[in-house]
Chain A
Amino acid sequence: MSMIKIVLAAVITNNYVLAKFLGICPFLGVSKKLDNAMGMSIAVIIVMVLATAVTWPIQMLLLVPKGIGYMQTLVFILVIAALVQMIEIILKKYIPSLHKALGIYLPLITTNCAVLGVCVLNIDEGYTFVESLLNSFGSGVGFMLAMFLFAGVRSRIETNDYPESFKGVASTLVAAAILSLSFMGFSGMIDAIFG
């Protein structure tokens, strides 16, 4: 039960983009077209889960026993960068079609704060290995949900007539505020269901 709760909470109530403000850059940058939003989100889900699968054991089996927990930031970011590079190489070699679809988004993900954020938060929250993986997966799906909804919203905004000074980023942010407001309606829902 708590497993489902973690996933649902990560997708809806604690949505990484709309509630925790992680991964805003791609959210604002790549959400213009639905295709791009989808490619980016899938890449984010894959990298988030794999990065957690690698960083959690490193933290628990290497950094903590050796008493060098303060190296967390440095080690995590390097591991994520190396991991992304490796995924790219492997995809290019063995699944070229997938590489063609996702390849361009992969380098962007290294510097995506949502990926490093989810790895660090998993440790901070004290999740077990399986819970961490679920939380990462849920967060990735939450990112995808936000990207999808927002790509739709944005395509409608573009065609409308609104004040000149709001054109560009400003209108996008205001729209994000409304979307985030609607997501707040979910708060409490998870607790109400699972008690």
Chain B
Amino acid sequence: MEKKSKLQILTNGFIKENPVLVLVIGTCPTLALSTQAINGIGMGLSVLFVLTCSNIFISALKKVIPDTVRIPCYIVVIAAFVTIVQLVISAFFPSLNDSLGVYIPLIVVNCIILGRAEMFANKNSVIDSALDGIGMGIGYTIALTLMGCIRELLGNGTLFGVTVTANVITPMTIMTMAPGGFLTFGVMIAIVNKITKGKVREKQQNKCLGCPGSAFCSEKEEGGEQ
């Protein structure tokens, strides 16, 4: 892999390696929280914060953390930052806290964060890792908010809580429910495929890319017959 400039590292996560639409990691909260655009922003920013802080921390500590127990160490670092986010949200944004609910503590096991720690932060300098965290976090926020907008508009006729089409077209409530989440996500990925002419599909195959079990996940999938 050639050396990337700082700007490339930052913008990498926006579109080219968008964690949600291209790498397809961290799918659980994406599907669950994209019912409203505002949830998308709230969750996106929480992830952005945790990702950036944990990337910085892990990158700074990469020489101290022994290789064999690195995953538990990463988890502790990540869990600490998630707890901070949890406390801040419940103190200052109680309504957001209600709608994000259990998905805030679940940021700990979000593949994006552990994945970036494993793939990027433990190999690169502190500044690069911070930029990567910010870039990936923004990419995640964009994807989540976009999906939230689509589902809110179709399912509720509103956008960020403001009525847009609800008076003109009867909203399809199903879009804000579970099936709508799967459908919107599936169609969005198909559109990304169409635009990039299938170039990104190879990356999508590697679903939990960077998640600690991924090596073995894909191995198992390929050699399942053994």
Question: Hey, which bits of chain A sit against chain B, CB under 8 A?
Answer: 18-25, 28-30, 32-33, 35-36, 70-74, 76-78, 81, 104, 107-108, 110-113, 116-117, 120-121, 124, 163-174, 176-178, 180-181, 183-184
The secondary structure that dominates the B interface is helix
Find out whether the CB atom of A170 lies under 8 angstroms from the CB atom of B224: no
**Nearest CB in chain A to that of B189: its residue:** A170
5 smallest beta-carbon distances between A and B, as pairs = A173-B186, A177-B182, A108-B213, A21-B32, A177-B183
The secondary structure that dominates the A interface is helix
Which residues on the B side are within 8 Å of A180 (C-beta)? 178-179, 182
The CB with the most chain B CB atoms within 10 A, among A107, A124, A169, A171, is that of A169
A-B contact pairs, 16 of them (CB 8 A): A22-B32, A24-B31, A25-B27, A71-B83, A73-B82, A74-B76, A77-B75, A108-B216, A120-B102, A165-B191, A168-B204, A169-B24, A169-B189, A170-B193, A173-B186, A183-B178
Find out whether the CB atom of A168 lies under 8 angstroms from the CB atom of B201: yes
- What string of 1s and 0s marks CB contacts (under 8 Å) between B93-107 and chain A? 000000001100110
Find out whether the CB atom of A107 lies under 8 angstroms from the CB atom of B212: yes
Q: Does B114 contact A (CB under 8 A)?
A: yes
| Shortest Cβ gap from A158 to chain B (Å) | 13
Q: Does B111 contact A (CB under 8 A)?
A: yes
13 extra interface residue pairs, beta carbon distance < 8 Å, beyond A77-B108, A116-B106: A20-B32, A25-B208, A73-B83, A74-B76, A78-B76, A81-B75, A120-B106, A170-B189, A174-B183, A174-B187, A178-B179, A180-B182, A181-B179
